[in-house]
Amino acid sequence: MEKEPVEQDFIQAESLLKKVKEEIGKFIVGQEKITDEVLWSMLAGGHVLLEGLPGLGKTMMIRTISEVMNLTFARIQFTPDLMPADITGTMVLQPDEKGKQQFDFHEGPLFKHIVLADEINRATPKTQSALLEAMGEKTVTIMGETKRLEAPFFVLATQNPLDMEGTYPLPEAQLDRFLCKLHVTYPSKEELKAIIKRTTGTDSTTLNQVATVENIIHLQSLVKQILVADDILDIAVNIVSATHPGSEDVTEIGNKYIQAGSGPRGLQSLVTMAKARALASGRLHISIADLRYVAVPVLRHRILLNFEGEIAGVTPDQIIEDILEKTLRIEAGKGR
């Protein structure tokens, strides 16, 4: 039976996560916000959908995180001809010591701690479903046999926001499986210069392993112990409720442009991601600031715009910011 965490456990967790970030920062230039949100997602036990143009360092960042945290890593390039067995593994008929034929299971790339699914929307729905089973159930099924994946298991899927030719866009029900959706932006001029200096010279950076599999599993257990006050939970519920057209909490813009909003999984993700941010900050409870910071990445892919919203060029991010402004203004008014 696992012992109850004490305050020292949370202090050590904050210290460890700072070391992890410092080590990642030795190799990855900028992208601090994305790195934070990826780490919080791992602590929350969720998966991430990354949207950004090619060449912005998504693969290198995830590979660096896996090295620093001593986690196994696999990258899968999703293509239209990729089959489910290519990612889950397959049964191979081989002779045993006595010469008899028997099936041996050969593991696919999903049997790693961190899996980078590059351009997930280029694979067929059947292959996407195999990945989503692994994400949701932490298992894969081969020839009717279910095999459990090793913990921790974390999927980071990427998609190109511009090149949609020959793609199979993820339906809303599958998008909802991702804890959050992150937008990777261009580096600044200073960051571009630093990247060139680090990558085109003779100096090489050696990464130290500052965490273990056991550390990650322990941190994930600590996230569940973070406290959520009833008034904070009410705010989280109001934020999610405000994504539903016709609800008493919805804003004027939301009611006009939202076709469908977030469900219960969105609320679970919002609270869990806020807990992970609180743990990384060395706090034993979540705050309004935690909810405000994580609401956009957690909810942006859970809001479906109607035709009028698409024509008007409104984005889910703008709607969420409007919801946050109204919800927190009402909350502030209650405090007075």
pLDDT of residue 56: 65
pLDDT of residue 164: 59
**Domain-embedded: residue 280:** yes
Q: Quick one: 243 and 302 in the same domain?
A: yes
**Domain-embedded: residue 120:** yes
Q: Quick one: 72 and 163 in the same domain?
A: yes
CA separation for the pair 59, 208 (Å, rounded): 19
pLDDT of residue 82: 86
CATH code, domain with 34: 3.40.50.300
pLDDT of residue 191: 72
Q: Quick one: 201 and 251 in the same domain?
A: no
**Domain-embedded: residue 97:** yes
CATH code, domain with 232: 1.10.8.80
Domain that holds residue 210: 7-214
Q: Quick one: 248 and 304 in the same domain?
A: yes
pLDDT digits (tens, 9 = 90+) for 270-326: 999 999 999 998 888 999 999 999 999 999 999 999 999 999 989 999 999 999 998
Q: Quick one: 199 and 157 in the same domain?
A: yes
User: Which structure tokens are listed for 129?
Assistant: 């479903």
pLDDT of residue 320: 94
Instruction: Choose the final residue of a domain: 214, 245, 268.
Output: 214
pLDDT of residue 332: 66
**Domain-embedded: residue 283:** yes
Residue 302: half-sphere exposure toward Cβ, Cα within 13 Å:
27
CA separation for the pair 213, 279 (Å, rounded): 18
CA separation for the pair 57, 207 (Å, rounded): 17
pLDDT digits (tens, 9 = 90+) for 165-181: 656 677 777 788 899 99
pLDDT of residue 300: 92
Q: Quick one: 209 and 230 in the same domain?
A: no
Instruction: Choose the final residue of a domain: 174, 191, 214.
Output: 214
pLDDT of residue 161: 67
Q: Quick one: 198 and 282 in the same domain?
A: no
Q: Quick one: 198 and 83 in the same domain?
A: yes
CA separation for the pair 183, 300 (Å, rounded): 10
pLDDT of residue 166: 58
pLDDT of residue 1: 45
Instruction: Choose the final residue of a domain: 188, 214, 240.
Output: 214
**Sheet order of strands, 180-183 included:** 73-77, 114-118, 154-159, 48-51, 180-183
Flag residues of the chain having pLDDT under 50: 1, 336
Alpha carbon 66 to its chain centroid, in Å, reads 14
Q: Quick one: 251 and 305 in the same domain?
A: yes
Q: Quick one: 234 and 209 in the same domain?
A: no
Q: Quick one: 196 and 253 in the same domain?
A: no
Q: Quick one: 23 and 163 in the same domain?
A: yes
Number of domains in the chain: 2
**Domain-embedded: residue 123:** yes
**Domain-embedded: residue 69:** yes
Full 3-state SS string of 138-197: CEEEECCEEEECCCCCEEEEEECCCCCCCCCCCCHHHHCCCCEEEECCCCCHHHHHHHHH
